């Protein structure tokens, strides 16, 4: 099928990838520690290849996600595919963890889960992300972040939490994610990816989200 699209002069686009070493050299800090503690995470961010924009749109138009996130089902070019969470983790080298970022933030809320809704992380949990002094009632904006936390948020906006709006805001789901990365606390990467896909599908592309 790939060769057929090549002969049809289908436009293939290059994936943007992230080289942690290059990024660290650019910002003058070793940020690899915030990614390498999660198995498969650096490789996921550096995953290269090409994609067809129309295939991406078709995927989002037809994907169906099991309520427990144990599998996803979609169709491309008239062919049905079913991918289990176990298989996806095996291919990507990810580890399953009990901690799920969207559950921490939104509990049992049904999608679409709004970026500015959900539970606010505790002061003690997010304090390492912000410049000190930081306490109850302190501002929680991107401008208040430490240098490492700011870099992490920038990277996550382009990858796991793709956003086009709220550039100066630091939403609750962003706070949960960046705080976990700064503290190097394990969480389920695959569930985060699936949850974002789920929100995009239900929201109908009306929000300020990019397609992951």
Give the neighbor-by-neighbor strand order of the sheet with 71-76: 64-65, 71-76, 79-84
H helix intervals, 37-100: 41-45, 53-62, 85-92
Mean pLDDT of 159-178: 84
Residue 201's closest CA among 56, 51, 70? 56
**Under a CB-based contact definition with an 8 Å cutoff, are residues 131 and 156 in contact?**
no
Rounded Cα–Cα distance for residues 173 and 102 (Å): 7
**What band does 203 get if pLDDT is binned at 50, 70 and 90?**
confident
Burial class (CB in 10 A: 0-12, 13-18, 19+), 5: middle
* Cα gap 23→40, rounded to integer Å: 18
pTM for the model stands at: 0.86
Provide mean pLDDT across the span 149-160. 90
Summarised one tens digit per residue, pLDDT across range 99-146 is 999 999 999 888 878 777 899 999 999 999 999 999 999 999 999 999
How far is Cα 138 from Cα 55, in angstroms, rounded to an integer?
44
Judge contact between 153 and 170, C-beta under 8 A.
yes
For residue 53, is pLDDT > 70?
yes
CA–CA separation, 100 vs 196, rounded Å? 12
Residues near 8 by beta carbon (within 8 Å), at least 6 away in sequence: none
For the ranges 4-8, 42-46, 97-101, 148-152, the lowest mean pLDDT is seen at 4-8
Say yes or no to pLDDT of 52 above 80: no
Q: Are 129 and 179 in contact (CB under 8 A)?
A: yes
73-87, 93-107, 156-170, 176-190: which has the minimum mean pLDDT? 156-170
């Amino acid at each position: 099928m790939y060769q057929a699209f090549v002969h049809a002069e289908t436009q293939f686009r290059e994936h943007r990838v992230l080289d942690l070493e290059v990024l660290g050299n650019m910002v003058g800090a070793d940020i690899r520690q915030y990614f390498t503690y999660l198995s498969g995470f650096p490789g996921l961010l550096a995953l290269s290849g090409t994609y067809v924009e129309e295939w991406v749109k078709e995927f989002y138009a037809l994907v169906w996600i099991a309520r427990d996130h144990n599998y996803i089902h979609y169709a491309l070019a008239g062919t049905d595919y079913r991918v289990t969470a176990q298989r996806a983790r095996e291919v990507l080298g990810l580890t399953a963890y009990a901690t799920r970022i969207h559950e921490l933030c939104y509990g049992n809320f049904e999608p679409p889960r709004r970026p500015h809704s959900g539970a606010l992380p505790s002061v003690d949990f997010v304090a390492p992300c912000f410049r000190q002094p930081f306490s109850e009632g302190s501002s929680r904006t991107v401008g208040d972040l430490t240098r490492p936390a700011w870099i992490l948020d920038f990277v996550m906006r382009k990858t796991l939490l793709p956003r086009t709006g709220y550039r100066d805001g630091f939403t609750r789901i962003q706070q949960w994610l960046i705080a976990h990365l700064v503290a190097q606390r394990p969480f389920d990467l695959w569930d985060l990816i699936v949850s974002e896909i789920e929100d995009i599908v239900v929201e109908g592309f009306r929000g300020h989200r990019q397609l992951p």
